[in-house]
Structure 1
Amino acid sequence: MVKIGVGDLKARPGGEIEFKGQEKWSRLATAAGSVPVIAPVRVTGKVTNTGKTLLVEGQVATTLELTCDRCLEKYRYPLVAALEEEYGSTKTPGEEGTGIGEETGVRPLVGDFIDLKPAMEEALLLAIPMKWLCRENCRGLCPHCGRNLNEGLCQCDTRTLDPRLAVLEELLREREGES
């Protein structure tokens, strides 16, 4: 787990500490399902005591194995995401209006350590593209035979005929047969 000790920093408004770390993750849970993580998840950055909160700024990077939405081939996707989170002490009983909580976007700080894993996961999830394509010009699969069109053309008849004109095509075939 990537944890940062901030015990000393909490007492020094304006102070900063730099951090760097990496973790081995096997999967990243997305809305589309679980995605394999095929490289260590690296994080670098700094924590700044702003006086009210601890501001974490940095970068998260890894490589995912995604499946192309068009051709269904697996491919490696290097992913780099900006990391920016604020952490603040939770309210003590009787204290009012500290502004710490989910509605303000400030994560609660409990103790003298910041666990970066939830923030790292969130940053990576936000950086994943909505449409997973192995390449920008992916041609996808043939809708008739299922061949991957990136590997070559298939022999399917790709002409589309308006069903209302099918009778005319039949008449033309009959006429060609008479000649």
Structure 2
Amino acid sequence: MNVVKIGVSDLKARPGDELEFKAQEKWSYLATATGNIPIVSPVRVGGTVTNTGKILLVKGQVATTLELTCDRCLEKYRYPIVAALEEEYAGAAAAQTVAGEEGEPVEVRPLEGDFIDLKPAVEEALILALPMKWLCREICRGLCPHCGQNLNEGQCQCDTRPVDPRLAVLGELLRKREGEN
């Protein structure tokens, strides 16, 4: 078995039964709407598939390590990620039955014959587990806005004194005058 597909032909015939799964697979990247994120360790997935009588319920966990780029200093860093995996799968007829009983549409993933394709669910779980802001460390100092020096590696030589914007023009005149002399 690979991470992408789980055979469930026997399980479909036994309501109330459960099937455990555990696997790992090497992926080179995680595709997102903004680009591809490199994956630097195997994607590990484990959990159970339960036949509830109407649907197949997958519960488990996915883990891997991604290579992200820090939003403050632009350095690449490794980010270990663990995400919960919980999905419902059903054939087309069963999916309509589940939605009809509750009166509102229920999001159930399609069951392709005797296999559950976990890849879309795993990708979605990893994307949803990503942090909103990618930081190499909580106290990342970022880049100097003037010269671009990575402030985590050392202080730059830029003048960082705050200047009142109303006096900025006067400071510019003084610098020009000093350059003439």
Same fold (TM over 0.5): yes
Aligned counterparts, 1:7-156, within 5 A:
7-91=9-93, 97-99=97-99, 103-156=105-158
Deviations 1:36-57 (A, max 9, x none): 0000000000000111100000
Deviations 1:56-86 (A, max 9, x none): 0000000000000000000000010000000
Q: Deviation of residue 166 (structure 1)? A: 3.9
Extract unaligned runs of 5+ from structure 1: 174-179
How many residues are aligned here? 169
Q: Distance in 2 between matches of 1:21 and 1:154?
A: 48
Q: Deviation of residue 145 (structure 1)? A: 0.7
Query: What's the secondary structure of 2:127's corresponding residue?
Result: helix
Structure 1 residues 129 and 171 mapped into 2: Cα distance closer, same or farther (>3 Å)?
A: closer
Q: Which amino acid aligns with 1:154?
A: C
Q: Distance in 1 between matches of 2:142 and 2:112?
A: 49
Q: Distance in 2 between matches of 1:71 and 1:24?
A: 29
TM-score, normalization by structure 1: 0.87
Does the Cα contact within 8 Å between 1:57 and 1:84 map onto a contact in 2?
Answer: yes
Extract unaligned runs of 5+ from structure 2: 176-181
Q: Distance in 1 between matches of 2:172 and 2:59?
A: 69
In structure 1, what is the equivalent of residue 166 of structure 2? 164
Deviating beyond 6 angstroms after TM superposition, the runs of 4 or more aligned structure 1 residues are 167-173
Identical residues among aligned pairs (%)? 76
